[in-house]
Structure 1
Amino acid sequence: MLKLPENFIFGGATAAYQAEGAVDKDGKGRVAWDTFLEENYWYSAEPASDFYNRYPVDLKLAEEFGVNGIRISIAWSRIFPKGHGKVNKKGVEFYHNVIDEAHKRGVEPFITLHHFDTPEALHKNGDFLNRQNIEYFVEYAKFCFEEYGDKVNYWTTFNEIGPIGDGQYLAGKFPPGIKYDFSKVFQSHHNMMLAHAKTVKLFKQNNYPGEIGVVHALQTKYPYDKENPADVRAAELEDIIQNKFILDATYNGSYSQRTMDGVNHIFEANGGSLDLRDEDMKILNEAKDLNDFLGINHYMSDWMRAYDGETEIFHNSTGDEGTSAYRIKGVGEKVFDVDVPRTDWDWMIYPQGLYDQLIRVKEEYPNYKKIYITENGLGYKDEIKDGKVDDQPRIDYIKDYLTAVHKAIQDGVNVQGYFVWSLMDVFSWSNGYNKRYGLFYVDFDTQERTPKKSAYWYKELAESKEIK
């Protein structure tokens, strides 16, 4: 029997754009995704899971099924339709109502300020590549701290800075759809970490109540042939792109020489440069010990082989297993013919990868304070039959990953909660609606919720805290 700590959070995760719908209702401003989906994909985020209207239903389900924490993001453009300036009072009221309902149901809200949804007015002028937008973000964060601070105990600045830079400027699957531009990838990483650092400093200097942290998506990278130095180097370089550059900024307040050697190697192979200023590094350094927690989102591990051909990335958005391609000149390529199960979207199922990341944070960044697994879950083509959803593979997945978390706790990592992605089925950024993650099945035509087999299992887990 494996027992998790008594005070452990058994949470469910959501995000505003993926759950709320109401993308243009009650004064909400447009985000870049509105246009990007219209121009590039066959689906939209309207009505998604209609959380904007049905949040009382979802929070009641959370209470009934033992989910005692929920990740909710505030849509920046619902508060400031243009990213700054005039405040939308209806948007402000909506999040008061959601937070109050969460507390009423005994569900602790973990509030994220930015979950992939920069207001379109700011996104069009460079998103976080434009340093002025860093200041607008800090102003927006300050407004939220002062508006909701008496009822929010946990704040997250950003969700997944790494995948934002990757999606926007490397794979091109996020707006503005730019591919293979490493200057923009690393500058986005750096500038968003600068925005995080400035926001954390403001939070602490003003003595706002509660705790503040950041959520990073940590993808574990392994060499395809661990005896081959070229493959080992490929795994290291890919780790720098996705993980280490951002972790260094978070907890070291600087970029190690080894990290910068890797960045410069990538620039030499692909072109690029980086604008790092002395005042930036001063702010990063001042914030490095102020993070109250780290959120880790973990879905995948990759096996990397050395590669010097031309860069080619193809994103599997349809769930046709085996259609992904990921090769970066001078860095490496992902190899899929390893003896590891994977999802229909080519994401490797490897719980050891989460354990290794937890140990990595403990050993390489000992000034971390505590960790929440803020997202982890199985994307699956769930089907409802006779009013029931048998998603045993999801139960097996969560059980195996929580077992890895338990092992990390036993080995000295301070993990205090786990949030399954997602609480209910939601819209998926570059996959639409056939990729489902929720504990609760959503009929996107009727918006009816149906607890899946995994929801009943998760309830028992939350009550007993035993991984069975």
Structure 2
Amino acid sequence: MLKKLPKDFIMGGATAAYQCEGSTDVDGKGQVAWDQFLVEKGRYSANPASDFYNQYAVDIALCKKFKIDSIRMSISWSRIFPNGYGEINHKGVEYYHKVFAECKKQGVIPFVTLHHFDTPKSLFDDGDFLNRKNIDYFVDYAKFCFEEFTEVYYWSTFNEIYPVASNQYLLGSFPPEVQFDIAKTVTCLHNMMYAHARAVNVFKEGNYAGEIGVVHSLETKYPASESLKDRHAAALDDALSIKFLLDATYFGYYSPETMELVNEILAANSQTVEIDEEDFIEMKKASNRNDFLGINNYGSHWVKAYDGESKLHYNTTGEKGTQVYQIKGIGERIVREDLPKTDWDWIIYPKGLYDLLIRIKNEYPNYNKIFITENGLGYKDEFEEGIIMDDARIDYVRQHFNSIADACEEGVNVAGYFIWSLMDVFSWVNGYTKRYGLFYIDFETQKRYPKESAYWYKFVSETKTII
């Protein structure tokens, strides 16, 4: 018997400003760190990306045509405030009003994120979220958006707080390319969660219409074996990447168990962190004010004990078997040879999403409701005279829909799903070779082509039946 999704389940497509808009230096937009970083590294450019800055009407019309209820998008902070604060760029404000007007015209719901890896460069160069002053600037920017863009009902404060902190200060795959600094990682995580809490409180106390939440990247950690050492390594990895975030979101503080594990990681690296207890006042106030939790989920991890020095290799080429993840004080993420993997070494394990959803229901009962805000398959799509058969993507999403349906049967309130991505977009570390979209983009002509998955997704949206 075919499984079904809830009848009022939102079927969306996800994007992000820097990854789809292009036009990074037009109409008064301020710089972000990526602009300079990509040039210095001699990498691909985020221009034109998917040219959403000019093609937004085309993409929103495709949403309507293919029964995609909602577009998850982000506002580029530096299009509104080129320096992160102070002078307002009215052309940027006008642009987003035009996008939201087009959404209304086509009957597509905008689901808007305030920060998606793109702090204005002036603030980034001043320490990004390690600098407490930048929290104030973020909250001011959030308040401006709440008051200005009354067309928006769904707001997310941040996209993927853990990858912001870990990619900048632990893995070093994002600027400023710092590696193995656990103290900076934890400080960034906390400061962003504090900024989230403050923005939520501004939203609720301002009585703005709509709903607000946060989007976390959450991927289940399993022990590589049942040995006590491997189980402890998985618990350490989980504490830093999941429990620290969910405790902050839904408790408004960090449980003693979570802090014991995080402090163990810090101590193993001869580092410490001081957290201002006053922050918990705002965080506790916000903990029961989140209207939803957004979850970005692409896979799961198996962790074994590891006693050596930290070593990393991030697979950016799609050459299978090249990923290495060994972190001192935490553990080693191993390869499961018995499970399928993407070309980028991401393990495909849909039950990990089911286990995560059940866990949140049990451990954080005030979660309210959940949107799967990103999930999808990065794939080397083959383009044959305008026809793109992406059965692997369909199978990937189908399996995850089945896990969502199973969790809903167990009483988890999952309200919607946003495939990453609506159309092919620029990738932060992979450029244009790793495609995720329902719509194939010829990046030279900017012409859109529906993939096989787009037609399948349309059927599921119309019928809520997982075929």
Q: Structure 2: how far apart are the matches of 1:397 and 1:49?
A: 24
Counterpart residue number, 2:12: 11
Indicate yes or no: 2:155 matched with 1:138: no
- Matching of residues 58-457 of structure 1 within 5 Å: 58-149=59-150, 151-225=151-225, 227-457=226-456
The 4+ residue runs of structure 1 with deviation greater than 3 A are: none
| RMSD of aligned Cα (Å) | 0.7
Residue type of the partner of 1:50? Answer: D
Look up the SS of the partner of 2:216 in the other structure. Answer: strand
C-alpha contact (below 8 Å) 1:69/1:109 kept by paired residues = yes
Residue type of the partner of 2:102? Answer: E
Following TM superposition, by how much is the alpha carbon of 1:424 offset from its aligned partner in structure 2, in angstroms? 0.1
Q: Structure 1: how far apart are the matches of 2:206 and 2:136?
A: 17
Following TM superposition, by how much is the alpha carbon of 1:337 offset from its aligned partner in structure 2, in angstroms? 3.5
Q: Structure 1: how far apart are the matches of 2:42 and 2:436?
A: 20
Q: Structure 2: how far apart are the matches of 1:36 and 1:311?
A: 24
Q: Structure 2: how far apart are the matches of 1:338 and 1:247?
A: 30
Deviations along 1:112-157, one digit per CA (max 9) or x if unpaired, are 00000000000001000000000000000000000002x1110000
C-alpha contact (below 8 Å) 2:266/2:329 kept by paired residues = no
Q: Structure 2: how far apart are the matches of 1:246 and 1:15?
A: 22
Look up the SS of the partner of 1:222 in the other structure. Answer: strand
Following TM superposition, by how much is the alpha carbon of 1:40 offset from its aligned partner in structure 2, in angstroms? 2.2
C-alpha contact (below 8 Å) 1:182/1:271 kept by paired residues = no
Look up the SS of the partner of 1:110 in the other structure. Answer: strand
Look up the SS of the partner of 1:243 in the other structure. Answer: helix
Look up the SS of the partner of 1:467 in the other structure. Answer: coil
Residue type of the partner of 2:156? Answer: T
Counterpart residue number, 1:31: 32
Deviations along 1:295-345, one digit per CA (max 9) or x if unpaired, are 000001011010000101111111111111000112110110341111000
Q: Structure 2: how far apart are the matches of 1:337 and 1:298?
A: 18
Look up the SS of the partner of 1:71 in the other structure. Answer: strand
Look up the SS of the partner of 2:419 in the other structure. Answer: strand
Following TM superposition, by how much is the alpha carbon of 1:41 offset from its aligned partner in structure 2, in angstroms? 4.8
Q: Structure 2: how far apart are the matches of 1:241 and 1:33?
A: 26
Q: Structure 2: how far apart are the matches of 1:304 and 1:317?
A: 21
Counterpart residue number, 2:459: 460
Following TM superposition, by how much is the alpha carbon of 1:280 offset from its aligned partner in structure 2, in angstroms? 0.5
In the comparison of the two structures, how many residue pairs are matched?
466
Q: Structure 2: how far apart are the matches of 1:80 and 1:356?
A: 40
Look up the SS of the partner of 1:2 in the other structure. Answer: coil
Residue type of the partner of 1:329? Answer: K
Following TM superposition, by how much is the alpha carbon of 1:271 offset from its aligned partner in structure 2, in angstroms? 2.4
Look up the SS of the partner of 1:282 in the other structure. Answer: helix
**Structure 2, unaligned runs of 5 or more:** none
Q: Structure 2: how far apart are the matches of 1:302 and 1:159?
A: 21
Q: Structure 2: how far apart are the matches of 1:41 and 1:331?
A: 33
Q: Structure 2: how far apart are the matches of 1:77 and 1:324?
A: 33
Residue type of the partner of 2:167? Answer: G
Residue type of the partner of 2:10? Answer: I
Q: Structure 1: how far apart are the matches of 2:175 and 2:390?
A: 32
Q: Structure 1: how far apart are the matches of 2:51 and 2:205?
A: 37
Q: Structure 1: how far apart are the matches of 2:199 and 2:274?
A: 20
Q: Structure 2: how far apart are the matches of 1:275 and 1:26?
A: 41
Counterpart residue number, 2:23: 22
Following TM superposition, by how much is the alpha carbon of 1:171 offset from its aligned partner in structure 2, in angstroms? 0.5
Following TM superposition, by how much is the alpha carbon of 1:278 offset from its aligned partner in structure 2, in angstroms? 1.8
C-alpha contact (below 8 Å) 1:26/1:90 kept by paired residues = yes
Q: Structure 1: how far apart are the matches of 2:271 and 2:295?
A: 29
% same residue: 59
TM-score by length of 1: 0.99
Deviations along 1:330-374, one digit per CA (max 9) or x if unpaired, are 211011034111100011100001011111110110011000000
C-alpha contact (below 8 Å) 2:220/2:238 kept by paired residues = yes
Q: Structure 1: how far apart are the matches of 2:80 and 2:136?
A: 16
Residue type of the partner of 1:95? Answer: Y
Q: Structure 1: how far apart are the matches of 2:18 and 2:99?
A: 15
**Structure 1, unaligned runs of 5 or more:** none
TM-score by length of 2: 0.99
Look up the SS of the partner of 1:214 in the other structure. Answer: strand
Q: Structure 1: how far apart are the matches of 2:273 and 2:148?
A: 36
Q: Structure 2: how far apart are the matches of 1:40 and 1:411?
A: 48
Deviations along 1:225-266, one digit per CA (max 9) or x if unpaired, are 0x2010001111111121110110000111011111111110
Q: Structure 2: how far apart are the matches of 1:63 and 1:172?
A: 39
Q: Structure 1: how far apart are the matches of 2:106 and 2:181?
A: 46
Q: Structure 2: how far apart are the matches of 1:275 and 1:158?
A: 23
Look up the SS of the partner of 2:418 in the other structure. Answer: strand
Q: Structure 2: how far apart are the matches of 1:163 and 1:65?
A: 31
Following TM superposition, by how much is the alpha carbon of 1:275 offset from its aligned partner in structure 2, in angstroms? 2.2
Residue type of the partner of 1:141? Answer: A
Residue type of the partner of 1:29? Answer: G
Look up the SS of the partner of 2:40 in the other structure. Answer: helix
Deviations along 1:14-61, one digit per CA (max 9) or x if unpaired, are 000000000001000000111111122521111100000000000001
Residue type of the partner of 1:452? Answer: K
Q: Structure 1: how far apart are the matches of 2:136 and 2:376?
A: 34
C-alpha contact (below 8 Å) 1:14/1:73 kept by paired residues = yes
